[in-house]
Chains A and B, each alone.
Chain A
Amino acid sequence: MPKPSDLLQGTLDLLILKAISREPAHGWGIAKRIQSLSDEVLSVQQGSLYPALHRLEQQGWITAEWKDTDLGRQAKFYALTREGRKQLERELETWGRLSSAVQLVLRRA
């Protein structure tokens, strides 16, 4: 399984933003969501997930709230802010450009 360092720089932020774009989630949930959506290919290490969450929160792109989980325990739920949504769009666009460019190279080279 690829290690987080194999993720392209900045890709983790994109994945996190995308993962909570529909509904808020806590750290565990985000990791699980990314794992299942990628058919278990991508596993986010906790060691990079939590620092990334705190960085995104510090930048004002996501906001955190303590809420009860289904299991009745309190957990920290992260949700996108308005700026976060804009940032997500920007990052998606960048990612689209980058991946199609890589595709082009791979196809033509």
Chain B
Amino acid sequence: MRLLRTLRQRARSLFRRAKVDAELDNELQYHLEQLTRENIASGMSTRDARLAAQRSLGGMASIEEQCRDERRLSWLTDLARDIKYAWRMLLKSPGFSALAVVTLAFGVGASLAVYTLAESLLLRSLPYSSPERLVTIYSVHQRRGSTENIGQEDFRDWQAANTVFERMAFTEFDQKTLTGFGDAERITGTSISEGFFEMLGVQPRLGRWFTPQEKKPGADHVVMLSHGFWVRKLGARPDVIGSSVSLSGVPYRITGVMPENFRFNEGYVAEFWTPISYVNYGHKNHQYDGYARLKGGVTIQAAQAQMSEIARRMEQEFPDCAGWGVRVMGMRSELIREIGPVLLAFAVAALIMLLVACGNVASLLLARGIGRSREIAVRLALGAGRRRVVRLMLAESVLLSSFGAAAGVLLAWWLIGLAIAVAPPWMQLDALVSLSPTLAAFAIALTLATGILTGLWPALRGSRANLQNDLKESGVSLVAGRRNVRSLNGLVVMEIALSVVLLTFAGLLTKSVANLLKTDLGYRTDGVLSFRMSLPESRYKTDQARLQFWDKLHSQLAALPGTVSAAVADSVPLGGTYSSVDVEVEGRTRARDWTAATSRISTVSVDYFRTLGIPLHAGRGFTPSDTAASEPVVIVNEAFARELIPGENPLGKRVRLNKWWRIIGVIGDSRYQGPAQQVEAELYFPFTQDPWFDFVAIRTAIPEEGVLRGGRDIIRGLDPNLPISEVRTMQKSVDLATQLPRALMTLVSGFAFATLAMSTLGLGGVMGYTVSRRKREIGLRIALGARKVDISRAVMRNASVLILAGSVIGVLCAFAAARALAALLYGVRPHDPFVIVAAPLVLGITALAACLAPAHGAASVDPMAVLREE
């Protein structure tokens, strides 16, 4: 009842404003009449009575205003009026408005992009039920402190001993050759242990998961297909369940199709899933990715404590477990660890840009507000409340920030597109980015906050007008209000300080990328082409068959015009595969901990080192005469010799893996996993003695593409069912490996220069404003004999003080904030002295240059013209 009446009241106040206002007027008029009547009754003349009544009633307008305020809704109608008025004010100075909108667009756009990416990656990339209970399990190589893959035997023991996990599972990267759908194709998938999907808590789109029966060897030729595979290759037909696809020459029965939004962040996009059948590889084996779901109420710390205890027991029990621990890591925190540093750097840069944009627009508004003090004084004198004036000025800044945000959305859209392009493909970032209610709420809140942040201070300052002085002043005072100038200076100093921080960031990232790019990889990047190609075991059963195939392929590839040399290997640099084993060196005692002596291993054919440009430093290379019948031989790199055979000539020494191998050559070190990786021990087997066939590398004398076409024809001629994939030039592989740091550097540098431009423009603007306010003072000084040089020098000195103050604060802040970048830097410390000095220098020079115009303007003030204005 009361609510209804209240609503009716308010609706009346809002929609029948004219009538309500008329009534209010009438009501007060009545009061005035009564008062007059009373005065007449007490003996005054009619005219005196009326005047006395009016005096005692006070400002009718102000009472009416207060009554309207009490009607509460006034803010809504006022708001409409404020916005209309603000719009007119903005149109009046289009240059100022455009500058402010563009400035705010930079700040708001970058922040929106960061928020969108963070929300997409952190909230939407683990689409499972209670993802906070999902963990990744690693083996920890305690001596190196590195996290490694886990082994089946370890897994089984952990599974039996723990009481913290509801379910555990492990997976392995897998590639198979798909035939029967046009050209043979190499496709990527995952082998999964029992309970993997159940652990994630997902349901198949079609069909069912594997049964325990289907995980046994012999019965395990069953497959789950990705939604994409099902749509692309099988036309999304629901009747495919139960039919077969041919993978690497073996028919696999389709048991189900995954849901469209299924994703699993494992560094690649899987198109199929097959079961892993149990094989006892022993405790030394580390080839699987381990995962688990915590029991409800169990914390990650508790799980880690129990697993560490189990691992300690296993170290005692099994010699092969010595030196190995376990790490349990929440999938979500792992995601944050992986993408967090990049997001953080991006977020800090965006925040700084936003703050500088706000500061810049605030100083513009402040400077204009000082110029408008007379207008505001008039408003106050006419009875506008201070609150009302503040609101009017806030309406202006919020209107500005709204236009800024609208333009910022475009920038954000572009930035997100850029992020999708440089993010690793397995992240499937484009599928994660979407408009959400929280994003919309964030955008609106950010816009309002920006508007208030920029407008509040100028509004509060501007509305604190001194009525008498401001109205009395005929024009501009002799000296600009000291307090106002001080506010402007404060803003400029803040902008400069923040710019120095961002320039430092940009400098550090640039230096880091430069270090990455000039790192000697140890192999050539130009004129080297590689692709992935495997020989299916179903058709190339014996070593002999594989050797023969390579002999044919090699002779034809080598004869191809433009080819310098060709090689086959089981891995190539940046090819994404990696294997390492423990090594025993002849004549040296083995540590109980087998991890004390490990090396990366690789199988390569005769011309591999020549093809990749890896130099032979001692001994000989492989030759065709190293065969299965001759003595097993290996080549090691210098890091191997340094670490595992220190102080001795490695040539002629024997090392034991599965059997004894004799070292016949030493090659130069290289960075197999890209420039950011440390050099590590490597050991190479000859293809002729250990024929693993996974990659082909070709060194070309002409552009790589020229050789590729001929190579494809040759392979098709030899075996039409052999697909090649991951065709890349070595330069392309290196570019991909450094793509993310390069993109981040470009972005942060872009932000830094935008911020630099804003703050120097801001400084120039403030100096220009101060000069224009002090024109009469300057004119007077010149008239009294000051030299022009002294005048411009004074302006520059003034600017230098601000720049110096900002730079000092900026350097101190940068010193503290640079630590946030530490995880992203390569070969440069966060407190790199060169960068720390260079950033304020760049800023100082640019900023001083921006002040030349106002300084010149001050010096060329014509004293006669100015003094005549009096």
Nearest residue in B to A66 (C-beta to C-beta)? B23
Contact residues in B for A82 (Cβ distance below 8 Å): 1
Instruction: State whether B30 touches A81 (Cβ < 8 A).
Output: no
A51 at the interface (CB under 8 A from B): yes
Known contacts A26-B30, A28-B34; A50/B63 CB under 8 A: yes
Q: Choose one: A55, A63, A76, A81; the contact of B70 (CB below 8 Å).
A: A55
Instruction: State whether A51 touches B70 (Cβ < 8 A).
Output: yes
Q: Choose one: A28, A66, A81, A83; the contact of B31 (CB below 8 Å).
A: A28
Contact residues in B for A73 (Cβ distance below 8 Å): 30, 33
Nearest residue in A to B58 (C-beta to C-beta)? A47
Instruction: State whether A28 touches B30 (Cβ < 8 A).
Output: yes
Contact residues in A for B56 (Cβ distance below 8 Å): 46
B237 at the interface (CB under 8 A from A): no
Contact residues in A for B823 (Cβ distance below 8 Å): none
Contact residues in B for A27 (Cβ distance below 8 Å): 27, 30-31
Contact residues in A for B33 (Cβ distance below 8 Å): 73
Contact residues in B for A53 (Cβ distance below 8 Å): 67
Instruction: State whether B28 touches A50 (Cβ < 8 A).
Output: yes
A53 → chain B, closest Cβ, in Å?
A: 8
A24 → chain B, closest Cβ, in Å?
A: 14
Instruction: State whether B2 touches A76 (Cβ < 8 A).
Output: no
Q: Choose one: A47, A50, A59, A63; the contact of B27 (CB below 8 Å).
A: A50
Contact residues in A for B57 (Cβ distance below 8 Å): 46
8 Å CB interface, A24-43 against B? 26-28
Known contacts A46-B58, A81-B5, A83-B2; A51/B69 CB under 8 A: yes
A96 at the interface (CB under 8 A from B): no
Instruction: State whether A74 touches B26 (Cβ < 8 A).
Output: yes
Instruction: State whether A46 touches B70 (Cβ < 8 A).
Output: no
8 Å CB interface, A48-62 against B? 50-55, 57-60
B653 at the interface (CB under 8 A from A): no
Contact residues in A for B2 (Cβ distance below 8 Å): 60, 81, 83
Contact residues in A for B295 (Cβ distance below 8 Å): none
B66 at the interface (CB under 8 A from A): yes
Q: Choose one: B10, B26, B30, B34; the contact of A58 (CB below 8 Å).
A: B10
Render A58-101 as a binary contact track against B, CB cut-off 8 A, 1 for contact: 11100100100000011110000111000000000000000000
Instruction: State whether B62 touches A47 (Cβ < 8 A).
Output: yes
B45 at the interface (CB under 8 A from A): no
B71 at the interface (CB under 8 A from A): yes
8 Å CB interface, B1-49 against A? 1-3, 5-6, 9-10, 13, 23-24, 26-28, 30-31, 33-35
Contact residues in A for B67 (Cβ distance below 8 Å): 50-51, 53-54
Q: How far is the CA of A83 from the CA of B1 in the complex (A)?
A: 9
Contact residues in B for A83 (Cβ distance below 8 Å): 1-2
B618 → chain A, closest Cβ, in Å?
A: 95
Nearest residue in A to B72 (C-beta to C-beta)? A58
Instruction: State whether B71 touches A54 (Cβ < 8 A).
Output: yes
Contact residues in A for B28 (Cβ distance below 8 Å): 46, 50
Nearest residue in B to A28 (C-beta to C-beta)? B34
Q: How far is the CA of A47 from the CA of B71 in the complex (A)?
A: 15
Known contacts A28-B34, A47-B58; A59/B23 CB under 8 A: no
Q: How far is the CA of A52 from the CA of B3 in the complex (A)?
A: 19
Q: Choose one: B27, B69, B72; the contact of A75 (CB below 8 Å).
A: B27
Nearest residue in A to B8 (C-beta to C-beta)? A60
Nearest residue in B to A59 (C-beta to C-beta)? B6
Contact residues in B for A52 (Cβ distance below 8 Å): 70
Nearest residue in A to B57 (C-beta to C-beta)? A46
Q: How far is the CA of A46 from the CA of B70 in the complex (A)?
A: 14
Contact residues in A for B10 (Cβ distance below 8 Å): 58
Instruction: State whether A58 touches B27 (Cβ < 8 A).
Output: no
Q: How far is the CA of A96 from the CA of B862 in the complex (A)?
A: 75
Q: How far is the CA of A28 from the CA of B35 in the complex (A)?
A: 8
Known contacts A26-B30, A54-B71, A55-B70; A46/B63 CB under 8 A: yes
Instruction: State whether B9 touches A47 (Cβ < 8 A).
Output: no
Q: Which residues of B contact A (CB under 8 A)?
A: 1-3, 5-6, 9-10, 13, 23-24, 26-28, 30-31, 33-35, 56-58, 62-63, 66-67, 69-72
The 4 closest A-B CB pairs, nearest first, are A55-B70, A51-B66, A54-B70, A28-B34
Between A and B, 20 residue pairs with Cβ closer than 8 Å are A28-B30, A28-B31, A46-B28, A47-B62, A47-B63, A50-B27, A54-B71, A58-B13, A58-B72, A59-B6, A60-B2, A60-B5, A63-B5, A73-B30, A74-B26, A74-B30, A75-B30, A76-B23, A76-B30, A81-B5
